[in-house]
Amino acid sequence: MAHALDRHLALVGFMGAGKSTLGAQAAERLGRRFVDLDRELERSLRQTIPQIFGARGEADFRELEAEAALEALANGSPAVVALGGGAVETEQIRRALREHAFTVHVEIDPATAWIRVGGGDRPLAQDEQSFHELHEQRSPLYDEVAQAVAHDVDGIVLAAAGIELEEGLLARLPELVDGDVEVVADATVLALHRPPLEAPVHALRGGEEAKSLGAVERLWRELRLGRDGTIVAFGGGCTTDMAGFAAATYLRGVPWVAVPTTLVGQVDAAIGGKTAINLPEGKNLVGAFHWPERTAIDPALLETLPPEEQRTSATPSRTRSRRPATTTAPATARRSPSACSRRCASRARTRLRSTRCCDRSPCASTAMPPGPHSRATRNPSTARRGSSCSRLPASRWPASNCLSSRYARPSTR
């Protein structure tokens, strides 16, 4: 599982990485309990960490640390759990992390860590050389247990939501998605980019036309995936809405990965598992909450948006136009990756906070909550402009518009 939706979010990393500070901030943003294991130990033993080390020695400290970690990780509602820098040395803790948590490595280079904590009260941060050696010795253990790496609170929230944001990420997609895969892609996007994976491709018409019952039925019938297979959605918000809905319903739900190619897709639609198709009576009237296993965001994909959409990207309050992506505009007009990351993290936080999932299973509930999706808003006189259920003319959505291309070969462009 590539997100922390229904499990603990554990933070590991070397001394001085900021696990306690960032963990508290992440917990606050996600509306979760924060468990700082060292502070818990200090509270229960009524001794500080240096006192525990001094009175009992490191070996005893590791046992106490393991007990506290196993207790915290095996129980309770999903929390944010910060572990001490050396906790990963204990095999039992590594196993508990694998079983019960989504683990993020809060990374820090040893020189910065030494500046922050060297010579302070941490028993293992007294001698600079052994501090560096310890860092080197533990690095492979952090890599082994962590499913994601982060350096700040936005990075932690993004990781918790299963979001990877990186310039050029598209090229790394084959590393992130394995097993049986089929790609559902916007035909316009396929004219501009090779399919991101060597897999069967189903092309959809661009825009809202993809979100019809006819199109989704066609897709259901074309898919050959088993329950363990993964749908990869490659396109804008309409593609991810429709492909995500197909994933939520096909075989009673299969995993999916969102690869959004538009700004609105990247900072909103592909985050948090809102999936839907339209009815002639209104937009998004049938759907499901089905959290993507991953959302892979490559800001470089926005380079093919037309210039006015690039400008929109740089102006957060405006929305994307419906024009298809056709030209290449200067990268300077694009929103910066850090702005994009803040926007995505904020959306991810909102959706993580508002999603309550069943215990251990992936979130595949097909229930729609009341509110904007309720009958009342289907009435055009009460539908608010711009709400997710605003009425659009029935003629906008042909009965079937999934272009048949089950085994369309990857384009060479």
CA torsion 182-187-191-195 (nearest 10°) is -10
In the list 84, 265, 282, 362, the residue contacting ligand S3P (rule: CB under 6 A) is 84
For the CB of residue 140, give the shortest distance to ligand S3P in the complex, in Å.
15
Nearer to ligand S3P by Cβ, of 23 and 255: the residue is 23
Please report how close the Cβ of residue 100 comes to ligand S3P at its closest, in angstroms: 20
* Count of Cβ atoms closer than 10 Å to residue 90 Cβ: 18
Point out which span in 120-128, 282-290, 338-346, 348-356 binds ligand S3P (CB under 6 A): 120-128
x/- mask, ligand S3P, residues 212-251, rule CB under 6 A, reads: ----------------------------------------
Can you tell me which of 123, 214, 280, 372 binds ligand S3P, judged by CB under 6 A? 123
Beta-bridge mates of residue 183: 201, 232
Region binding ligand S3P by CB under 6 A among candidate stretches 81-89, 95-103, 279-287, 390-398: 81-89
Task: Count CB neighbours of 378 within 10 A.
Answer: 15
d(CA 10, CA 88): 11
- Site mask, ligand S3P, residues 286-325, x = CB under 6 A? ----------------------------------------
Query: Is 245 within 8 Å of 216 (Cβ atoms)?
Result: yes
Burial of 393 (0-12, 13-18, 19+ CB in 10 A): exposed
State the binding string over 259-288 for ligand S3P (x if CB under 6 A, else -).
Answer: ------------------------------
Instruction: Please report how close the Cβ of residue 354 comes to ligand S3P at its closest, in angstroms.
Output: 31
105 binds ligand S3P (CB under 6 A): no
Taking CB under 6 A as the criterion, the residue among 45, 124, 176, 333 binding ligand S3P is 124
Whole-Å CA distances, 270 to 233, 375, 404: 9, 25, 24
d(CA 274, CA 129): 50
Q: How many binding residues for ligand S3P (CB under 6 A)?
A: 10
Q: Is 135 in the site for ligand S3P (CB under 6 A)?
A: no
Which residues does residue 31 pair with via DSSP β-bridges, in sequence order? none
State the nearest-atom distance from the C-beta of 153 to ligand S3P, in Å.
Answer: 16
88 part of the interface to ligand S3P, by CB under 6 A: no
Q: Is 19 in the site for ligand S3P (CB under 6 A)?
A: yes
d(CA 79, CA 73): 9
Judged by CB under 6 A, does residue 15 bind ligand S3P? yes
As given in the structure block, the two tokens for residue 275 are 């999936």
Written as one string, the DSSP assignment of 241-302 is HHHHHHHHHGGG---EEEEE-SHHIIIIITSS-EEEEEETTEEEEEEEE---SEEEE-GGGG
Backbone phi, psi, residue 389, to 5°:
-115, 20
Are 401 and 187 in contact by the 8 Å Cβ rule? The answer is: no
Least distance to ligand S3P, CB of residue 122, Å: 5
Q: Least distance from C-beta 49 to ligand S3P, angstroms?
A: 5
The correct pick among 78, 85, 260, 272 for binding ligand S3P (CB under 6 A) is: 85
Q: Which stretch binds ligand S3P (CB under 6 A): 79-87, 168-176, 239-247, 346-354?
A: 79-87
CB of 159 to ligand S3P, least distance (A): 19
Of the residues 4, 10, 49, 158, which one makes contact with ligand S3P according to CB under 6 A: 49
Per CB under 6 A, which of residues 21..40 are in contact with ligand S3P?
A: 38
Give the residue carrying structure tokens 């995993």: 255
Q: How far is CA 241 from CA 236, 286, 346, in A?
A: 9, 11, 20
Q: Which of 18, 23, 86, 155 binds ligand S3P (CB under 6 A)?
A: 86
CB 138 → ligand S3P: shortest distance, Å? 8
Nearest to 142 by CA among 177, 175, 97: 97
- What is the bridge-based pairing of β-strands 101-106 and 8-12? parallel
What are the φ/ψ torsions at residue 179 (nearest 5 degrees)?
A: 80, -160
Given the rule CB under 6 A, which residues bind ligand S3P? Answer: 15, 19, 38, 49, 84-86, 122-124
